Chains A and B, each alone.
Chain A
Amino acid sequence: MKNNSFNRAVLAAGPALLALSGIAQAQPGDLDDKVNQIFSSSTGWFVNLIFAPFPGTTFPWIVAWLVIGATVFTLYFGFVQFRAVGHAIALVKGDYSDPDDAGEVSHFQALATALSGTVGLGNIAGVAVAVGIGGPGATFWMILAGLMGMASKFTECTLGVKYRNEYEDGRVSGGPMYYLTKGFAERGLPGGKVLAVMFSVFCILGALGGGNMFQANQAHQQISGIVGDYPGWITGLVFAAVVFAVIVGGIKSIARVTEKVVPFMGILYVGAALIILAVNYNHIGWAFGQIFEGAFTGLGVAGGFVGALIQGFKRAAFSNEAGVGSAAIAHSAVRTKEPITEGFVSLLEPFIDTVVICTMTALVIIITGQLVAGPDGNYLLNEAGTMIQTVDGNSGVSLTSAAFGSAISWFPYVLALAVVLFAFSTMISWSYYGLKAWTFLFGEGETTELVFKVIFCVFVVIGAAANLGPVIDFSDAAIFAMAVVNIIGLYFLMPIVKRELNSYVSRLKSGEIRKFA
């Protein structure tokens, strides 16, 4: 009797298994293609709107928007990013922290968490995209954008702490949606609520795009580059399952492991880059020459020096998120009586992220000779004329991987692990940013939060299955849309930051604010 039912079950399961294996064989290419097609056709209009060039030029208005914003903040606060660095480091070290506040969120912790959200693929893949399309000159504009972006970050993170919500149960939550509503109300300005809602919508899209799909996509490219090609949705499902376990299942141990490994990977990455630079020290001068020359002539890249500039600024903004508003969410949990102190601390973020780590990547790609130049010194373009020819036709993260691999043969394996971990930690951070925007719109509650978290996991799969092109376009567009709203808000609220800055600096000088250590 027992045997019989077992046999029947096997017989019934047989065809089902056959059908499943059939689907698995027919699916891969089709499914990926379909996802890709639907994705690019449904997001194209949004991308076109954000990256629309000024009439009669090829210069996207959004790039000008970010540059002007960063310049205004830099001038308005009198180059605070250069004046306050020493004080920022003292704050991170804890020199000004009240010992009675031990056990609360420290400046270091807020900075480290915000950094683990920004340091990631932007530094590895994004820079490769910038240098691949814009040439070495893009690096110059990227560094400049990073230095200026420090002022944007300073402004938004000060406001993030100042206008955060502190709930009765002791939780805190802050970010542009709160300073836009509360700050505008305080100054008696209309429209704060509208901006906050717009910001939240874009933040959710940004979380799903740059904070999720781009990460999943590049993680898949890395893994398949090592184990051989296989369908993206498989990586997507695995990643989605792990992300689900952390953000829905609350399995903190996974998150904790990545939080510890990610900084280590960051140091390892910079260390490897420094070794490669040290070995090729005689080329460093030449590489900087290429960077400066390319910055103003383009060295033959598509779009000339404007092309280099656009790429540099775009990738810097995407990597350090200055002016985007996302970091204000992460920084706002710090324990401090002075919101401005977190502003000082946060301005280190674009420096570490862009000026140090991104520049390392760019230098390694340039120095290891990944970009193919013609006899006249100008770079050769690929057949489509869209980017510079590379040694093996690599682009994105595989270009960085090839550059490191040409000097340290086993490094691509470490890099693959780093990319996967960076991708994962960025996803965790952005799932939180997205969730904060989501709860701002729809209210807090377990069910509403769960809905967002499930959507987030679904997009992990879509991101891994889609092609890089449409994903990167959409990711950029969503994140820049956040910057549009956020920077408008910052213009109106910057006098408040100035007041905080002046008051703090005078109290620091008079000795009212003293070191504890």
Chain B
Amino acid sequence: MSDLYVVAYDDSPASQKALDFAIERARPTGASLLIAHVLEWSPYSFLTPTELEERHKRRTEEMDRAKTALLDPVVVATRKKGIEVEAVIRYGNVADTLIDIAEKKNANQIILGRTGAAGVAARVFGSVASSLAQASPVACTIVP
């Protein structure tokens, strides 16, 4: 079985860099990629009654939008480069969900970009990259 790399992807330049890096590594090793797009979501957040009513509708819309506008073009572009690739959209805490995906799919590596923020907020709350560096169960490459 060939290697599998999970690539965290949103539409940021940083995640584009991570994807490019992953493609470069995958080509010589013959690894396949799993492009993961995680929408930040907490089941413990507070919503108004109207938001509850529309939640299922909004979620469907968000997933559709993410698939058609974000993931489909990237998957097509990556395939053109001769790399085997799948895509997945999930809701949850970004770091936890990436770890979960990597574990379930038996991935060899998680590859992600970083925003480079080093302000107070990033120090207090941490970032996805630093959480993964701490907790990832597989090798984790943070692409600068």
Within 8 A of A (CB), among B25-64: 39, 41, 43-57, 59-60, 62-63
Stretch at the interface among A169-177, A236-244, A483-491: A169-177
Q: How many angstroms between the C-alpha atoms of A334 and B43 in the bound complex?
A: 11
Q: Number of contacting residues on A, CB 8 A?
A: 36
Q: How many angstroms between the C-alpha atoms of A433 and B54 in the bound complex?
A: 15
Q: How many angstroms between the C-alpha atoms of A170 and B64 in the bound complex?
A: 13
The answer, yes or no, to whether B90 is at the interface (CB within 8 Å) is yes
The answer, yes or no, to whether A263 is at the interface (CB within 8 Å) is yes
The answer, yes or no, to whether A374 is at the interface (CB within 8 Å) is no
B66 vs chain A, min Cβ distance (A) = 11
Other-chain residue from A109, A256, A432, A433 in contact with B43 (beta carbon distance below 8 A): A109
Which single residue of chain A is at the shortest CB-CB distance from B57? A170
Which single residue of chain A is at the shortest CB-CB distance from B100? A99
Q: How many angstroms between the C-alpha atoms of A249 and B92 in the bound complex?
A: 30
The answer, yes or no, to whether A511 is at the interface (CB within 8 Å) is no
Residues from chain A with a CB closer than 8 A to the CB of B44 are 106, 108-109
Q: How many angstroms between the C-alpha atoms of A335 and B39 in the bound complex?
A: 18
Residues from chain A with a CB closer than 8 A to the CB of B41 are 102-103
Within 8 A of B (CB), among A333-362: 333-335
B40 vs chain A, min Cβ distance (A) = 10
By secondary structure, the A interface counts as helix
B131 vs chain A, min Cβ distance (A) = 18
Stretch at the interface among A22-30, A38-46, A110-118, A268-276: A110-118
Q: How many angstroms between the C-alpha atoms of A252 and B57 in the bound complex?
A: 17
B56 and A171: CB pair below 8 A?
yes
A384 vs chain B, min Cβ distance (A) = 40
B48 and A255: CB pair below 8 A?
yes
Which single residue of chain A is at the shortest CB-CB distance from B60? A170
Residues from chain A with a CB closer than 8 A to the CB of B100 are 99
A458 vs chain B, min Cβ distance (A) = 21
B45 vs chain A, min Cβ distance (A) = 7
Q: How many angstroms between the C-alpha atoms of A433 and B63 in the bound complex?
A: 29
Other-chain residue from A94, A105, A116 in contact with B55 (beta carbon distance below 8 A): A105
Other-chain residue from B49, B55, B90 in contact with A104 (beta carbon distance below 8 A): B55
Residues from chain B with a CB closer than 8 A to the CB of A102 are 41, 43, 90-92, 97
Query: For this complex, into which size category does the number of interface residues on chain B fall?
Result: 20 to 34
Residues from chain A with a CB closer than 8 A to the CB of B43 are 94, 97, 102, 106, 108-109
Q: How many angstroms between the C-alpha atoms of A333 and B55 in the bound complex?
A: 8
Q: How many angstroms between the C-alpha atoms of A260 and B57 in the bound complex?
A: 23
Given contacts A97-B43, A103-B41, A103-B91, contact A113 B56 (CB under 8 A): no
Which single residue of chain B is at the shortest CB-CB distance from A170? B57
Given contacts A94-B43, A97-B43, A171-B53, contact A428 B48 (CB under 8 A): yes
Q: How many angstroms between the C-alpha atoms of A103 and B50 in the bound complex?
A: 16
B46 and A104: CB pair below 8 A?
no
Q: How many angstroms between the C-alpha atoms of A113 and B46 in the bound complex?
A: 7
Q: How many angstroms between the C-alpha atoms of A94 and B42 in the bound complex?
A: 11
The answer, yes or no, to whether A259 is at the interface (CB within 8 Å) is yes
Other-chain residue from A106, A108, A262, A432 in contact with B49 (beta carbon distance below 8 A): A432
The answer, yes or no, to whether A62 is at the interface (CB within 8 Å) is no
A170 and B46: CB pair below 8 A?
no
Given contacts A94-B43, A102-B41, A106-B43, contact A330 B90 (CB under 8 A): no
Which single residue of chain A is at the shortest CB-CB distance from B58? A170
The answer, yes or no, to whether A401 is at the interface (CB within 8 Å) is no
Q: How many angstroms between the C-alpha atoms of A263 and B59 in the bound complex?
A: 25
Other-chain residue from A94, A105, A255 in contact with B56 (beta carbon distance below 8 A): A105
Binding site for B on A (CB under 8 A): 94, 97, 99, 102-106, 108-110, 112-113, 116-117, 169-173, 252, 255-256, 259-260, 262-263, 329-330, 333-335, 428-429, 432-433
Q: Top 9 A-B pairs ranked by shortest CB distance?
A: A103-B91, A170-B57, A106-B43, A333-B52, A102-B91, A432-B49, A259-B46, A170-B56, A105-B55
**20 pairs, CB–CB < 8 Å, chain A vs chain B:** A94-B43, A102-B41, A102-B43, A103-B92, A105-B55, A106-B44, A109-B44, A109-B46, A113-B48, A116-B46, A170-B56, A170-B59, A170-B60, A172-B56, A333-B52, A333-B53, A335-B55, A429-B48, A432-B50, A433-B49
Binding site for A on B (CB under 8 A): 39, 41, 43-57, 59-60, 62-63, 90-92, 97, 100
Taking A109-B44, A113-B49 as known contacts, 8 extra A-B pairs with beta carbons closer than 8 A to each other, sorted by chain A number, are A103-B62, A112-B47, A113-B48, A170-B57, A173-B53, A255-B48, A259-B46, A429-B49
